[in-house]
Amino acid sequence: MINITAPKPNNLKFIKRVRVWVEAALPPELEDVTVMVNELQCYEPGCAPLETVVSLLDPMKPIMFKVFMPIRELASSSTGAEQVMTALKNALAGAAPEHKNEVKNESVGSMET
């Protein structure tokens, strides 16, 4: 159930950090694409409780990919930028691995929409 009255954590600086990483890594043909970063709760069995979702809002071909960890943990991790870059590369290549984190300690995945 969604509770709109519950206080939300202040993740703005972490969201901005991830957005900047993605924007800096985009190929020239996507430099004008809007990048949206969110942290979403997943209720499906086997998926991370909180995951970071990045959407590239290209009118011709929108792309979404996920990193299976909370935004705060991802943005603060020494390997966070690398995980985001790997997921971005996979998403741009059209890779669409399983939604769920199937291998323990594997935290990067992508999904094209």
36-59 per-position pLDDT tens digit: 999 999 888 888 889 999 999 998
> Rounded to whole angstroms, how far apart are CA atoms 6 and 110?
29
In a 3-state reduction of DSSP, which class is residue 22? helix
Cα end-to-end distance, the chain, whole Å: 25
- The pLDDT tens digits of the residues spanning 30-41 come to 999 999 999 999
Question: Strand 34-41 to strand 63-67: parallel, antiparallel, or no bridges (unpaired)?
Answer: unpaired
Q: Which strand (E) or helix (H) includes residue 51?
A: strand 50-57
**For residue 113, how far is the Cα from the chain centroid?**
13
pTM as predicted: 0.77
> Rounded to whole angstroms, how far apart are CA atoms 23 and 31?
7
Angle at CA of residue 18, ends 12 and 22, nearest 5°: 140
